[in-house]
Structure 1
Amino acid sequence: MTVEVAYARADLQVVQAVRVVRGASVREAIRCSGLLGRFPEIDLAEYRVGVFGRLRDLDAPLAPGERVEIYRSLRIDPKEARRRRAAARAAHPRDG
């Protein structure tokens, strides 16, 4: 069966089609994709993974046509990012 494995960085997005045996796990699809070799920063012990935007366990079985997504860790907490943007807007209000 064919599935896709997706990984994105700020500068690059990759979606790799992979042929795996029926019932292959998320982990097996990622390994078969070759992305672990291309992107050594991917740490499956730390990064989360999902299928079509929903978190999945690495041992979860896949169905044909599914897209595995490798999620990078957040660089900053979303609430903190919003606080910083609000503070920047308050410090530099737009004229007009």
Structure 2
Amino acid sequence: MAEIRVEVCYALPERQFLKALRLPEGSTLRQAVEQSNLLREVPQLNLESAHVGIYGKLKTLDTVVRDHDRIEIYRPLIADPKEARRRRAGKKMRVA
């Protein structure tokens, strides 16, 4: 059976997890994450509730991955990016 190459990545504030894998063609996103050992290295990560994607586009765990896909596991946002941008813009206007 043909093999594909993918990367699994997950970023924490203090470190980054990045693992290159070779998987059988037809593997799913879930299988890639499980094969990467990410769940052993970050035991507090709940894959069932985490948002996952490929190159910044949200996908489901049963998505079949393709050669050279970059699989990303996303952490929840602490602050709303739009609100943070408004606060920064407000500070700049007060300083000027």
Q: Which bin holds the TM-score, normalised by the shorter protein? A: 0.7 to 0.9
3-state secondary structure, aligned to 1:36: helix
Indicate the residue corresponding to 1:42 in structure 2: 45
Rounded to whole Å, the distance in 2 between the matches of 1:5 and 1:62 is: 11
Residue among 44, 54, 57 paired with 1:54? 57
1:41 deviates by 2.8
TM-score by length of 2: 0.83
Structure 1 gaps of 5+ residues are: none
Residue among 14, 29, 38 paired with 2:17? 14
1:90 deviates by 4.9
TM-score by length of 1: 0.83
Question: Percent identity between the aligned chains?
Answer: 41
Residue among 58, 80, 86 paired with 1:77? 80
Aligned residues: 93
**Counterpart of 2:64 in structure 1: which amino acid?**
P
Task: Find out whether 1:68 has 2:67 as its counterpart.
Answer: no
Two-structure CA RMSD over aligned residues (Å): 1.7
Structure 2 gaps of 5+ residues are: none
Indicate the residue corresponding to 1:24 in structure 2: 27
**Counterpart of 1:16 in structure 2: which amino acid?**
K
Rounded to whole Å, the distance in 1 between the matches of 2:32 and 2:26 is: 10
